[in-house]
Structure 1
Amino acid sequence: MTHEPAAEVAVIGGTGFYSFLEDPVEHVVGTPYGAPSAPVSVGTVAGRRAAFLPRHGPHHELPPHRINYRANLWALRSLGVRQVLAPCAVGGLRDDVAPGDVVVPDQLVDRTWGRAQSYVETGAVHVPFADPYCPRVSAAVVAADERVRHGGTMVVVEGPRFSTRAESRHYAAQGWTLINMTGHPEAVLARELGQCYAAIALVTDMDAGAESGAGVGQEEVFARFAANLDRLRGLLATAIGNLGDPDGCTCSTWADGIELTYEVP
């Protein structure tokens, strides 16, 4: 007997983004990796069954380095989710982005440390990750709003502190566009589970080395994200309606013929 998935697409909410669905049904999901950030809410968006999970918890209890990323992605996959939209707050590193911009990056640089960043704990399983974001899902987001920018590199740092000016200037000098604290290992865990994943980055500030002044502060980040929540919700709903069938996407077919040493629910 086959069972219909509880949801086929998911939104992982970022800073200040703690709810998305109207009249959702909550699923408390246990995983081999512990508890996810919150119960998973499931409802209908644009005619599709959609799940929502706030990565920081319902009230932002979890700082970026304490989020159980493995449990979050595994919980969503166990409910049937194969496509993930991941809005997040980011700082801008270069003058080709500005606060208020929404960017769908196409590259990622990992500068985190100490996080469990893989389901692989034994054996030889090496996930291809040259292109960390799903081009199909990214295209659906870009098509949802002509103001959305496509392309750019997001560097992910450990946090929870913001960067020094020297660090920020170094990242900008590498040609990187955005800086964030939660984009890794979220993206690679989705790939290991065969999920299509795209980040949706809202620029809330210019990072410390990108301009003169006091540098970035928490109030500024939270306020900018809150001011753009309605816009993000509308963008996500339209993008979910734009999504195609993930069957055959290289995000999942990479594992064809490979004996995985971890469970994919």
Structure 2
Amino acid sequence: MSLAIIGGTGLTSLEGLEITRREVVRTPYGEPSTPLIHGSFKGYDITFLARHGYSHNIPPHQVNYRANIWALRHVGVQRVLAVAAVGGINEQYGPGRIAIPDQIIDYTHSRTTTFFDEDLSQVTHIDFTYPYDDELRSWLLRAAQEAGVDAVDGGTYGATQGPRLETAAEIKRMRQDGCDVVGMTGMPEAALAREAELPYAHCAVVANWGAGMESGQTLSMDDIRANLTRGMESVKMIIGSLAPKVL
């Protein structure tokens, strides 16, 4: 089974990936964030896509999610692991932790959210009751355990518009809504993967506490970068253990 990794903030390249070729894919929806990188990771074939571009210059609200997902499907990818930095808004999801969420609440707006919006012979709906693929989530959790990474099983990802970080009041509302982590790229990526019939799961790296979670404290970019560095090392360990299960 061909596996794609979509790398977010902190993972614009996959260290240890032996690149075999770069592929420029033209899509009906414009240009993907980057050419697709095909290569071998610990002996297994993987396709890598940097969601925000190699130089991290595409903000969350301007990512061409449709082009990215379409391109991966077009080249024959069969499963997608999305990696992203998030903020923790529940005590179990502190900085440096890895979470494998099982639900999403979408707070984004003004994004193109579907492939099914023009030249339709009929209206198309997808079942999105459970937005992440159960089998891929289970493999991720087992891979984390085998790699010695303490990953949180489950949780609700709150997807916000960005690129700004949230206010303390917004985080309070999201926590009341049942969110456990907050990020800016979870939607419409997950829904588009479902429309494309690509099993999709999320590996969320908690980079910081959400705004207002630490009384009187503001967010430190230095702390965020340090937590991301630590968390992404755990992600690479998980991917190394995951590959034999998926491929």
TM norm. shorter chain > 0.5 = yes
Partner amino acid, structure 2, of 1:95: E
Matches of 2:106 and 2:56, distance apart in 1: 23
Aligned equivalents of 2:152, 2:171: Cα separation in 1:
22
- In structure 1, give the amino acid aligned to 2:216: G
Q: Out of 193, 203, 228, which is 1:225 matched to? A: 228
Q: Aligned match of 2:197 in 194, 209, 219?
A: 194
Matched, 1:148 2:144: no
Q: How does 1:1-265 map to 2 (within 5 A)?
A: 8-20=2-14, 21-45=17-41, 47-121=43-117, 122=120, 123-146=122-145, 147-243=150-246
More displaced, 167-176 or 198-207?
167-176
Shift of 1:218: 3.8
Report the Cα distance in structure 2 between the residues aligned to 1:241 and 1:46, rounded to whole angstroms.
Answer: 9
Distance 1:222 1:77 in 2: 32
Cα shift readout 1:19-47 (whole Å, capped 9, x = no counterpart): 12223310011100000000100112355
1:215 and 1:171 map into 2 onto residues whose CA distance is 18
Q: Identify unmatched segments of 5+ residues in structure 2.
A: none
Inter-partner Cα distance in structure 2 for 1:184 and 1:237: 26
Q: Where does structure 1 differ by over 6 angstroms across 4 or more consecutive aligned residues?
A: none
| TM-score, normalised with respect to structure 1 | 0.86
Offset of residue 65 of structure 1: 0.4
Structure 1 unaligned spans of 5+:
1-6, 245-265
Work out the CA distance in 2 between the residues paired with 1:229 and 1:96.
Answer: 18
CA distance in 1, matches of 2:208, 2:102: 20
- Name the % identity: 38
- With normalisation by structure 2, the TM-score equals 0.92
Q: Is the 8 A contact 1:46 1:241 kept in 2?
A: no
Distance 1:46 1:141 in 2: 17
Distance across 1 between alignment mates of 2:84 and 2:42: 22
Give the length in aligned residue pairs: 238
Letter in 2 for 1:152: G
Q: Answer whether contact 1:15 1:89 (CA < 8 A) is retained.
A: yes
